[in-house]
Amino acid sequence: MPANIVRIAKNTLMLYFRQILLMLVSLYTVRVKLEILGVEDFGIYSVVYGIVAMFTFLNIAMTGATKRFLAFALGQNNTEQAKNVYSASIVIHGLIAVFVVILAQAVGLWFLYNVLNIPPERQAAAFVVYQFSVVAAVISIFQVPYRATIIAYEKMSFFAMLGIVEAVLKLGIVLLLPVILFDHLMVYAFLVCITAIIILLAHKIYCNRKFEIARFRYCKDKELFQQLFRFSGWSVLGGVANAGKNHGTNILVNIFHGLTVNAAMGIAAQVNLAVSQFVNAFQKAFGPQIIKSYSAQDYDYLMQLIFRTSKASFYLLLFFALPLYINANFVLQIWLGNVPEYLIAFTRLSLLYSLVHAISVPLWTSIQATGDIKKFQIVGSCFRFSNLPLALLFLWIGFSPVWIFIIRVCIEVIILGWSVFFIGKMVKLRVLVFFYNAIAPISIVAGVSAFATSFSYNLFEGNWSRLIMSCIISTISIACLIYWIGLNRQERSLLNGWLKRKLKRGNGI
C-alpha cells in the first residue's frame, strides 16, 4: 500500500502542474476566441460541435470499458490479457469511428439544415465547421486505446506534458487567427482538427515505444470481444444520456433562444471545465488504483480509496468553486469585459453541479471495477436522460434557460444517492457508513465555509476588496474546517506525519 500511495502522490502532483497551466491557458484562450470570433460565431461553433459530440456516445461507452479491462488485467499481472484488450479495443474503436461518420453525415446534416437556428449567411461556414468537427471526433475516437494504456500504466508525466502541448497549440491557433484573412470560424475548425492529428500521433508513438502491450495483433479471443461489448453495451445508455443532457439541451436552447445563449452556455462550460480539471486530474491518479485494488481483492484498501477520493475531490474543487461562485459577476466582467446574458447564473449552477459530480466519480469507478454495471446504468441513465425532456418541457412552457441547469443539479443529487445505494450492494459498503464518513463532513465544511465567505464578502465595499478578502477567508476557512472536521483521525495523523517529514527536510535535519 505505501508504494501505491507514493505513486498516487507523484501522479497527482504531475497532473496538478498540468492542470494549473491548462486552466490559465484555456481561460485566456476562451477570452481571445470570443473576441476574435464574436458571440454569434462562438455560439455556432458550440452548437455545431455539440451535434457531432452527440454521435460519439458509443465511444464514451467503450472508453470506460477499455480503461477498466486494461487496468483489471494489469492489476492481475496478466500481460497477455492486456495485449488482447489493447488489440481488441483498436478494432472496436475503428468500427465506432465508421459508425460515427455514417450517423453524422446521415442524421447530423439534417439537424444542421433543418433544426438549428443559424443565420442563412453563416450556414456555409457552419457546414465547413461541422465537417472538420466530424474529422476531429473520429481522431479522438482513435486516441482512446492509447490514452487508456497510459492511464492504466499510471504514466501521468507524459499525460501531463501532452496536455500542456495541446493547450499551447490551441492557444497558438487563437493568436494566429487575427493575421489570417480567410473566414476565422472555418480556419479555427481546420486548425483544431490538425492539432488533434498531432496529438494522436504523439500518443501512438509514445505507447508503441514504451509499452509492450501496445502492439496491435490479431486477437482471436471472441469471449473478450463479447465481454467488452457486454460491458460497453450497458455503458451506451450512459453515453446516450450524457449526450442528451449536455449537447441535446444545447440544441434545445438554440431552437428556443438562439446563438447568444449558446455562446453563454459554451463559455460557462469552459469555465467549469477549467476549474473542475483539477479534480479530474486527482481522480485520474486514483482511478487505476481503485480498479486494481478490486482486481486484487484488497477490499479494505478499496474502501479507504472510495472515502478519501470522494472527500478529497469535493474539497479540492471547493477551494476554487466557492470564491468563484460568490465573485462570479466581477470575475466574469474582468475576464470577458462584456458578459453575455445568463452567463453568471450558468456558471454558478455549473459549479454546483460539478461539486456534486465530484463526489460520485469514485463510486462509479468502483462500480465499473466490478464489471456488473447493468442495473446501475439502466437506472442512472434514466435519471440522467430525464434532463432532456424536462428541459424541453420547461423551455416550451416559457421558463428561463437557467432552469436547465437547476434541473441538472437536482438530478445529479438524485444520481449520487442512487450510486451510494448501489455500490453498497456491490462491494458491501454500508450506506450509512458512507454518509457518516464522507457526506456529513463534506456538508459541514461546505456549509460553514460558504457562510463565512459570504459574510466576509458583505463586510467590504469595492469589487477588488471583496474579491481578495473573500478568497482569503474562503481558503483559510476551508483549510481549517477540512483539518478539524473534514478528515478523520487516521487521515489527520497521515497529514501530520507528511508535514513533519517536509519540515525536517526543509530544515536539513
Q: Specify the pLDDT at position 408.
A: 93
Helix (H) or strand (E) holding 452: helix 440-459
Helix 259-295 to helix 343-370 angle, to the nearest 10 degrees? Answer: 20
- Of 64, 66, 100, nearest to 207 by C-alpha is 66
At residue 492, what is the residue type? Answer: R
> Using an 8 Å Cβ cutoff, are 457 and 466 in contact?
yes
- On whether both 435 and 287 belong to a single domain, the answer is no
- Give yes or no for a contact between 134 and 101, defined as CB atoms under 8 angstroms apart: yes
Please write the tens of the pLDDT for every residue from 267-302.
Answer: 888 887 777 776 666 666 666 777 777 777 777 777
Examine residue 504 and state whether it is found in any structural domain, yes or no.
Answer: no
The CA distance from 495 to 237, in Å, is 40
Is residue 39 over pLDDT 50?
yes
For residue 509, the model assigns a pLDDT of: 47
Q: Is the pLDDT of residue 170 over 80?
A: yes
Among candidates 296, 307, 261, which has minimal Cα distance to 423?
Answer: 307
Closest CA to 369 of 290, 302, 429, 304: 290
Q: List the one residue out of 324, 333, 329, 387 whose CA is nearest residue 351.
A: 324
Task: Tell me what the mean pLDDT of segment 49-64 comes to.
Answer: 73
Q: Say whether pLDDT at 413 is over 90.
A: yes
Task: Tell me if 505 is assigned to some domain.
Answer: no
The residue segments making up the domain with residue 235 are 2-429
Q: Are residues 146 and 169 in the same domain?
A: yes
Confidence of residue 232 (pLDDT cuts 50, 70, 90): low
**168: in domain:** yes
- CB of 292 within 8 A of CB of 1? no
Is 336 inside any structural domain? yes
Q: Rounded to two decimals, what is the model's pTM?
A: 0.78
Q: Are residues 280 and 316 in the same domain?
A: yes
- Residues 451, 425 within the same domain: no
In a domain, 506, yes or no: no
Both 467 and 424 in one domain: the answer is no
Cell 452567463 belongs to 343
pLDDT tier for residue 443 given thresholds of 50, 70 and 90 = very high
Q: Which of 413, 429, 445 is the last residue of a domain?
A: 429
Predicted pLDDT at 429 = 67
Residues 361, 492, single domain; the answer is: no
6 located within any domain: yes
Domain boundary among 373, 406, 429: 429
Is 508 within the bounds of a domain?
no
Q: Is 236 helix (H, G, I), strand (E, B) or coil?
A: helix
Instruction: Give the closest residue to 441 by CA, choosing from 306, 308, 324.
Output: 308
User: Are 378 and 435 part of one and the same domain?
Assistant: no
CA dist., res. 76 & res. 313, Å (int)? 27
Number of domains in the chain: 2
Give just the sign of the alpha carbon dihedral 179, 185, 186, 187.
positive
Domain boundary among 429, 454, 475: 429
Three-state secondary-structure class, residue 327: coil
Q: First-to-last CA distance in the chain?
A: 27
Query: Same structural domain for residues 48 and 161?
Result: yes
pLDDT digits (tens, 9 = 90+) for 482-502: 999 988 888 788 777 767 776
Query: Mean pLDDT, to the nearest integer, of 15-41?
Result: 76
Count of all residues that appear for the chain in the document:
509
Q: Which residue has the cell 461489448?
A: 229
241 found inside a domain: yes
Within this chain, do residues 368 and 470 fall inside the same structural domain, yes or no?
A: no
Contact 353, 409 (CB under 8 A): yes
For residues 435 and 360, membership in a common domain is answered with no
DSSP class per residue in 165-225: HHHHHHHHHHHHGGG--S-HHHHHHHHHHHHHHHHHHHHHHHHHHH-TT-S------HHHH
What band does 132 get if pLDDT is binned at 50, 70 and 90? very high
With 60 as the cut, is the pLDDT of residue 6 above it?
no
Q: 21 with 157, same domain?
A: yes
Ramachandran assignment for 451, one of left (phi > 0), alpha (psi -120 to 50 degrees), beta (any other): alpha
Q: Which residue has the cell 450558468?
A: 346
Tell whether the model's pLDDT for residue 435 goes beyond 90: no
Does 404 lie in the same domain as 258?
yes
pLDDT in the model for residue 401:
94
